Structure 1
Amino acid sequence: MTDLRTERLLLHAMTPDEAERIVAGRPAEGDLWGPEYPDAMDVEGATDLLKACAAGGDPRPFGNYEIRRRADGRAIGGLGFNRTPDAQGTVTVGYALNTSARGRGYASEALRALLAFAWSRGVTLVKADADLGNLASQRVLRAVGMREVGEDHRVRYFELAAPGEPAHSFSS
């Protein structure tokens, strides 16, 4: 599986073995983890990847990606697809950066690369959500072009249609 590269980041397609190490909190020799990696969100993403593998096989390339800084190779967070595209070509994405890596534009840079990858694989609509109080995450989603399509008592929903696709409306 090919990793995705941006100007400052490497989005590494996580393997099941890597996910197991993240869940266990035990890096192997050669794993370069940032000081706060993995955090609770990284462990949750790795756990979800392992569940997907157990249920239907390795979902790559529609799995999780470790966000690594190209400058030093250190893992600083993760992002990925919550599942493979449905019959209409829709996916939901999520992301998280470790605290010390926030505020540098890494989340927007990584998400733009993931969106471009999704479009290249025939995805027609990408959905995401952010907690109502998580204004930084909402700014990231808006920065990559996602539009707000609703909210409930807990989260605000966003979506972005692939270039050339008509707009949709979010349904949970």
Structure 2
Amino acid sequence: MGDLMTERLALHPISVDEAEQMAAGRPDAEARWEPGFPTEGDVSVAKRFLEHCAATGDPQPFGPYVIRRWDHRAIGGMGFHGPPDEQGSVTIGYGLVPSAQGKGYASEALRALLPFARDQRVTSVKGDADHDNTASQHVMTAAGMRQVGEDERVKYYAISWSR
């Protein structure tokens, strides 16, 4: 599977080798990481990806992606928490290193991931953000997702398509 491209970014499907590097926090000689990458969240995603690959195989295209800027530097991650459920729904997550935040990268990446999910016959994409995480809330609304609920801690977002 190839990269998903936007005007300024490439969403690169994580390989086992890349996940091992991320989990260890040590890139190989060819990896280009922005300072702060991988974040604690990226390391956690890499470890879960490796566990999933060992147990049931590579989940792509419904796995994690590294977000790379035009200069090929890894600035964060985005991806699916797993394959679609029985109703065709997936959940997404994302994060960027601090130096890449506030530049529209996460919204741009999500605007590429959503039509890709639809093309894979996904019927809805869900996400959530803590009440005080207005930046993440903005990312989802900027990409076309709408708030569909909330509880005392989290706001829930979704976008749906018919099959």
TM-score, with length taken from structure 2: 0.96
Which residue type is aligned with residue 101 of structure 1?
Answer: A
Which residue type is aligned with residue 5 of structure 2?
Answer: R
State yes or no: 1:2 paired with 2:11.
Answer: no
After superposing on structure 2, the runs of 4+ consecutive aligned residues of structure 1 that deviate more than 6 Å are none
| Other-structure match for 2:12 | 12
1:55 CA drift (Å): 2.7
| Identical columns (%) | 57
Distance in 2 between the 1:125 and 1:17 partners? 30
State yes or no: 1:57 paired with 2:57.
Answer: yes
TM-score, with length taken from structure 1: 0.91
Q: Which has the higher mean CA deviation after the structures are superposed, 141-150 or 74-83?
A: 141-150
Matches of residues 32-111 of structure 1 in structure 2 within 5 Å? 32-70=32-70, 72-111=71-110
Distance in 1 between the 2:153 and 2:51 partners? 25
1:116 CA drift (Å): 1.1
Structure 2 gap ranges (5+): none
Distance in 1 between the 2:62 and 2:16 partners? 13
The count of aligned residue pairs is 163
SS in 1 for 2:29: coil
State yes or no: 1:23 paired with 2:20.
Answer: no
Structure 1 gap ranges (5+): 167-172
Which residue type is aligned with residue 142 of structure 1?
Answer: T
Distance in 1 between the 2:156 and 2:20 partners? 30
Which residue type is aligned with residue 99 of structure 1?
Answer: P
Distance in 1 between the 2:153 and 2:16 partners? 31
